[in-house]
Structure 1
Amino acid sequence: MNLFFDESGDFKAGVAMSQQGEAYQVELPTGKRSKVRSKDVLLQFASPAPAEFMTDAQAIAADIDLDFLWEVAGQEEFGFAELGTEYFGHEPKPHEAAGLILRLHAAPIYFYKKGKGRYKAAPEASLKAALAGVEKKRQQALVQAQYVEELKAMRLPDAMLPIVLQLLFKPDKNSIEYKALDAACAELQMAPQRLMLAVGGIPSAKDLHFSKFLFESFPKGTGFPEITLPTLPELPVADVQAFSIDDVTTTEIDDAMSVTRLPDGKVCVGIHIAAPGLGIKRDDALDVIARQRLSTVYMPGDKITMLPDELVEEYTLAEGRTCPALSLYVTLDPSDWSVISTETRAERVPIAANLRHNDLDAYVTEDNLAADVGDYPYKEDIALLWKWAQVLEQGRMAKRESFGLRPEQNNRVDFNFYVENDVVSIQRRKRGAPLDKIVAELAILTNSSWGKLLHDHGVPGIYRAQGGAGNGWAAKMQVRMQTHAAPHQGLGVDQYAWSTSPLRRYTDLVNQWQILACIEHGVTAPLVAPFKQRDADLFAIVSAFDAAYSAYGAFQADMERYWCLRWLSQEKGEAETLKLEAAVLKEEILRLMDIPLVIKLSGMPQLARGSQVKLDLLRWDEVDLTVEARLLDIIQDAAANAAVAEELDDEMTDDMMEGDAEPVPLEPELQEAPTTEGEPAPEGNTNP
């Protein structure tokens, strides 16, 4: 006896070898034996053989007209044998009944299964809807196949053009566009990003990196809504002639300085900070814009500002204007550089000049300052500030040592990126130049002084602290943001509140509001300051800023790496490979000497940190930002290697964590040499 049975929705036929109770031992045409329950048996037949039976049944099934079968079935539930008599016009033969079951089971949109061998025809409306869905899927499959062919021919389908970024970075995996892209990539063995570059969906690797960042961090675009410039309060005009010192590309000039020599021989140094906080108020339309962005985003050759250009223009400390500013005045005795008094004022400050590093760095050197030679603007003021900056630095280093840290070194080399018409130049610039140190020391002094001002008035602010928290050395040295004063051991100050870049960082704008409340309201400031103690919104700002600043810094690092690779292409020209020198950071990690490009060279022999080697750069990938290189030679120059090691140690800061931990990052005010657009890079994201 042969059986036709249902095995979990799969219909089979075989020879019944034996029966035990409610189960059969069945041998299939393949020779495999299965245990089949009686209730799963649909038909019993004597002939033909099971294999032939299944062939005949499948032929019957293929010949059945589904639409006619649906009409014959009616709307009542039925068994397959009943429908077989109606459909065939006679009691169906075993292979006909089996063919009918196969056809019913394979057409779930026509017939709903109601039990073993029992079905019910779908209602007409449901059937029409289901058939429409099937037709839609068929049409979509045709369109998808067409998209695949276009992509394989290196043409971008028109339908994909508006959703290129979504397809790459946040795809709807059920869409036919994504399925087509995925299929084409599989056939071409090409990553989606590379295929989009090949078909013109993304113009270049640079645009790919930039577009990815914008898609993730600026999904609504980088444009600003129309704004109304705020009305400023009446302010006194300072009796000073201030000047700023910035890179030539800087447009958000938010700090300047002045020197006034007093009749009694004392000196009053003014540190003047742009004051958008006088016009922008908490929760107004401009604040909403600033809080959404939280910081200006920097990259070689471009930037995305935190504030609209017209607002920046209103508050930037531009040459030839009298600008609203928050000023810290420090009265000094130049005989011993002791601080006699300090005062903070909101005022308008005449900006006499915007000095530029690019014009002055060659003249304002330590040797020239010591010999009092050279001719440049504000020479006497710069000389005085240089002397005071060294005193300030010495005081910080003594404080730093009291925290158990070694003094900072000045061997670090920074790199400036300049991009014009997609051609990049990368310039080495040694840290610690006099103008750098002057700007840095005055900024640190201001941030520390205003942090103390907030603390003394009982007004919360946004502080950066380092040391004294957590378990272990690495945890203690982690820079963290908080709303109460605490030492920043790395800088060697008792408190440190970012306040000197309110045009570029939202934290500084928030602190400026708090400082303005202190100088205007005095002891009642805690009651009227925009943010009160334990304000949940202030904690939310700290958290959001930390996340945004980290994302912006990572993007800047990626773009700097991209432009390093572009520099390699420029240097290589028509040559097959490019030969350059590099220094060992640790183990297999190297950094090129000419540019801040870090690469990994697997299999490199163990060399001491700072050891110099010659590399043959074979190829690099601007999409993956990877570099392939091979070792050509090890430079045997102990003195040079030692000097490079010292430089690298300072770049990573001299307080390295144990093991594989990352170095403690420097504060931006210590990253005096701007890496991009004349602005300090975000903390922890400068070039290594």
Structure 2
Amino acid sequence: MHVLYEDAGKLKAETILSETDNALHVESASGKRSKVKRANVLFTFEQPAADTLLPAAEALAETLDVGFLWECAPQEEFDTAQLAEEYFGHAPDAIEKTALVLALTAAPAYFHRRGRCLFRPAPPDILKAALAAIEKKRRRAEQQQTWTDALVAGELPGEIRAVAPAFLDSPDKNSLEWKAFDAAVQQLGQRPERLLLSLGVWPNPLVMMRERFLARHFPDGTGFPGLDIHLEQGTDLPRAEIEAYSIDDASTTEIDDALSVQVMADGVVRVGIHIAVPALAVSRDNPLDLLARQRMATVYMPGDRIPMLPPDLVRTYSLDAGQWRPVLSLYVSARTDTGEILESESRLEQLCVRANLRVNELEPLATEATLADPQAPVPHAHWLRPLWQLACALGSARDRLRGKVENNNRTEYIFELAGAPDDPDAVIHLLPRQRNAPLERLVAEYMILANTQWGALLARHGVPGIYRSQQAGRTRMSTQALPHEAIAVPQYIWSTSPLRRYVDLVNQRQLLAAVEHGVSARLVAPHKPRDADLYAIIGSFDAQYAQWMDFQSSLERYWSLRWLQQNNICDVSARVLRENLVRLNCAPLITRVGGLPELERGQDVLLDILGYDELELDIECRFRQIL
């Protein structure tokens, strides 16, 4: 005797060894024995053999017309044995009963299961809706397969072209278009980015990177909506009748700092560090502030930028030469031989910058040698030399506190693009710049001085600010005035770039309160002590600024690859960083070199360039020799 039963939703036919009121002990054709609850039994039978029942029933079930069965079936609940007898015209055998169970179970649109061998036909209206859904699903499956076949063949259907740009970052994974694309990716074994580029969704990797970034972070565009906001000119502020200049790259349009110097007696100079004051117009939570907070910083990329603040506001507060502009000034009196700070004072005033000096024009003439030689012709020497002397003293004082000389002699590069920023054939120039060049060190030293002194001013008056600290090698932002070990200062804030960085703008508003109200500033500052909003700003800024820097680095890496190709460079020298990781000596590129012998850090090697991958932003190199 054999039994047909259900186990975990599957039908099984096996031979009965013994049985009780509640269960049967059965044996499969392979000899495996098991216990079956009687509640799971459909029926018992003698013929055919247990192991042939299901194959025969499945073959018969394929021949049954489910639509005809639905028409023949009673409209109420019925047993399959009853319908089988009517359908086959005789008492059904085990194969026929099993075939009917399989056919009805496989057609849930036609028949609703009610128990063991019990079914009920679907009402006509429900069946009609179910069949329509099945047909729709079939047509969708056919459409999906058609699109997948086209994608695999290198064709891009119009329906997919319309939504393909969103596939990499925000796909609708329930859509037919995405499912067709994903199936093509799996079938071809390609990265989605590479397939989309091959299909022409983007003309090249450069456009893909830019459009993905803009779609993700600037879905409404990079412009600014029209805002009818009064821009405070600061024309009622006192005027500082001093000689001041700014020093910036040739491409800089947001001039947010300038320097002045007065030579006093006995080796003392009085240096002025003057910072643009957009905080006069961008008060906390006004529309301009909300826009700036949304962007957090200006996004820089070769040949282009996305400003944090509207161009009209930048023009109003940028320290352009010949224009009286409001500034927050820090005046420091110090000894040029030791860097000792004798006194400092902060003021809100107006300043007219004499000239916006450019590094590329001034740097060849203002070298360490010419600045040290009083007879050497140096532009604006009466201004540059005392600034340089104090900058050197301030840097040496920090080196003594740190216990070592700062290692800042790495070459950096300015990317100068001749052409549209989204044109991969635009000509790129890499202009090397030493981080420890005199003008770089001079400006950096006074920005460190301002950020240190103003950080101390906030702490002294109990006004909260956003500080940057470094302890035990970990750099972080917080509202605590903690030491920054890398630059050897007791506290440090970002406050000298308020036109392009939101943290600096927030700190500037706090500084204005401290400068204007002194000890009572903590009561009137925009952010009071323990303001939770400051912590929210820190979290948002860290995350978003990192994304801005990653995007900038990716584009710079892309243009470095293009520079190598445009100049037909076939071999390059590089410096070993560790193991098989090297940094090229002619471009800001770090890459891995397979087969590189084990070498000391800092060793120079010569590499052959084998190829470029502008999608992966990588270069394939082969080791040739040690230099």
TM exceeding 0.5: yes
Match of residue 438, structure 1, among 439, 442, 458: 442
Which residue of the partner structure matches residue 246 of structure 1?
Answer: 248
Match of residue 455, structure 2, among 438, 451, 454: 451
Which residue of the partner structure matches residue 639 of structure 1?
Answer: none
Distance 1:36 1:634, change over 3 A: same
Which residue of the partner structure matches residue 308 of structure 1?
Answer: 310
Q: What displacement does 1:599 show?
A: 1.6
Name the amino acid aligned to 2:415.
F
Counterpart mapping for 1:279-678 below 5 A: 279-331=281-333, 339-372=341-374, 377-401=379-403, 406-421=404-419, 422-467=426-471, 476-572=472-568, 578-635=570-627
Q: Which has the higher contact order (CA 8 A, sep 6+)?
A: 1
Which residue of the partner structure matches residue 182 of structure 1?
Answer: 182
- The TM-score, its normalising length taken from structure 1, stands at 0.83
Q: Give distance in 1, aligned partners of 2:482 and 2:28.
A: 82
Deviations 1:643-685 (A, max 9, x none): xxxxxxxxxxxxxxxxxxxxxxxxxxxxxxxxxxxxxxxxxxx
Which residue of the partner structure matches residue 651 of structure 1?
Answer: none
Q: Give distance in 2, aligned partners of 1:198 and 1:124.
A: 50
Which sits farther off after the overlay, 592-601 or 33-42? Answer: 33-42
Please give the secondary structure, in 2, of the residue aligned with 1:170: coil
Which sits farther off after the overlay, 441-450 or 199-208? Answer: 199-208
Match of residue 277, structure 2, among 268, 275, 286: 275
1:205 aligns with 2:201: no
Which residue of the partner structure matches residue 143 of structure 1?
Answer: 143
Deviations 1:1-54 (A, max 9, x none): 55544443333556x3744444254554xx665647355443445555567655
Question: In the alignment, is the contact (CA less than 8 A) between 1:615 and 1:630 conserved in 2?
Answer: yes
Q: What displacement does 1:363 show?
A: 1.0
Distance 1:45 1:466, change over 3 A: closer
Q: Give distance in 2, aligned partners of 1:496 and 1:54.
A: 80
Q: What displacement does 1:542 show?
A: 1.4
Q: What displacement does 1:227 show?
A: 2.2
Q: Give distance in 1, aligned partners of 2:356 and 2:184.
A: 55
Deviations 1:577-619 (A, max 9, x none): x211111112222111111211222443222221111111212
Question: In the alignment, is the contact (CA less than 8 A) between 2:5 and 2:42 conserved in 1?
Answer: yes
1:119 aligns with 2:132: no
Question: In the alignment, is the contact (CA less than 8 A) between 2:276 and 2:325 conserved in 1?
Answer: yes
Which sits farther off after the overlay, 315-324 or 510-519? Answer: 315-324
Q: What displacement does 1:248 show?
A: 0.7
Deviations 1:38-89 (A, max 9, x none): 5544344555556765555335423333233234334422211122234445
Question: In the alignment, is the contact (CA less than 8 A) between 1:229 and 1:311 conserved in 2?
Answer: no
Q: Give distance in 2, aligned partners of 1:374 and 1:154.
A: 67
Distance 1:51 1:396, change over 3 A: closer
Which residue of the partner structure matches residue 58 of structure 2?
Answer: 58
Name the amino acid aligned to 2:291.
I
Please give the secondary structure, in 2, of the residue aligned with 1:342: strand
Please give the secondary structure, in 2, of the residue aligned with 1:481: strand
Question: In the alignment, is the contact (CA less than 8 A) between 1:230 and 1:280 conserved in 2?
Answer: no
Q: Give distance in 1, aligned partners of 2:250 and 2:196.
A: 37
Gaps of 5+ in 1: 468-475, 636-688
Please give the secondary structure, in 2, of the residue aligned with 1:466: strand
Q: Equivalent pairs: percent with the same residue?
A: 45
Q: Give distance in 2, aligned partners of 1:336 and 1:548.
A: 40
Which sits farther off after the overlay, 354-363 or 370-379? Answer: 370-379
Question: In the alignment, is the contact (CA less than 8 A) between 2:336 and 2:389 conserved in 1?
Answer: no
Please give the secondary structure, in 2, of the residue aligned with 1:177: helix
Question: In the alignment, is the contact (CA less than 8 A) between 1:363 and 1:374 conserved in 2?
Answer: no
Which residue of the partner structure matches residue 196 of structure 2?
Answer: 196
Q: Give distance in 2, aligned partners of 1:330 and 1:58.
A: 94
Q: Give distance in 2, aligned partners of 1:17 and 1:258.
A: 103
Distance 1:9 1:20, change over 3 A: same
Q: Give distance in 2, aligned partners of 1:563 and 1:161.
A: 28
Please give the secondary structure, in 2, of the residue aligned with 1:63: coil
Q: What displacement does 1:425 show?
A: 2.0
Distance 1:454 1:53, change over 3 A: closer
Which residue of the partner structure matches residue 106 of structure 1?
Answer: 106
Q: What displacement does 1:333 show?
A: 6.3
Q: What displacement does 1:265 show?
A: 9.8
Gaps of 5+ in 2: 420-425
Question: In the alignment, is the contact (CA less than 8 A) between 1:17 and 1:27 conserved in 2?
Answer: no
Question: In the alignment, is the contact (CA less than 8 A) between 2:370 and 2:378 conserved in 1?
Answer: no
Number of residues paired by the alignment?
616
Kindly report the root-mean-square deviation, in angstroms, between the aligned alpha carbons of the 2 structures.
2.7
- The TM-score, its normalising length taken from structure 2, stands at 0.91
